[in-house]
Amino acid sequence: MLKLEYMNLSSIHYIIWLIISAIFFAGGEFLSKKFSLNPKFAYVIYILIFYSIGVLAWLPAILQKNQLSIVGTMWSVLSLLTTVLIGILVFNEKINAAGIVGIVFAFAAIILLSKG
């Protein structure tokens, strides 16, 4: 008899789930920007799909760590960073010194929350 093996989704480390979620969220942000430049209904469908996958990838992370303050902050920073990188690298947007300081403080928040 053929035995089908499957990957236990809870065996994947929660940080991997956060990265996957953040990437799909950033993909949704990318598509939102594309939609704002060229409104087409197809973008709306793709945006909904990307955000939905991002939310579904978030669930195993919060189930594993079960600390919303840490996991939520980590997700926010990862999403922020990927969104900023897309804005800079793909759409040639600029970030000023205050924005860079804000990103540094966001990383500091993760460190401080993880210590407590």
CA–CA distance, 106 with 74 (Å, rounded to integer): 9
pLDDT of 30: 94
Report the SS3 class of residue 66: coil
62, 68 in Cβ contact below 8 A? yes
| pTM for the whole structure | 0.76
Question: Residue 44 domain-assigned?
Answer: yes
Cα dihedral: 45, 49, 51, 52 (round 10): 130
Note the pLDDT of residue 28: 96
Please check whether residue 7 lies inside any domain of the structure. no
- Residue 3 is predicted with a pLDDT of 45
Q: How many domains does the chain have?
A: 1
Residue 55: predicted pLDDT = 93
Q: How far apart are CA 93 and CA 30, in angstroms?
A: 13
The answer to the question of residue 26 being in a domain is yes
pLDDT of residue 2: 45
Domain membership flag for residue 6: no
Residue 5 lies in a domain: no
Structure tokens at 17: 């789930």
Instruction: Answer whether residue 62 is part of any domain.
Output: yes
Q: Which domain holds residue 41?
A: 12-115
37, part of any domain: yes
Instruction: Output the tens digit of pLDDT for each of the chain's 116 residues.
Output: 444 444 555 667 888 999 999 999 999 999 999 999 999 999 999 999 999 999 999 888 888 888 888 888 888 888 888 888 999 999 999 999 999 998 899 888 878 877 76
The answer as to whether 84 is a domain residue is yes
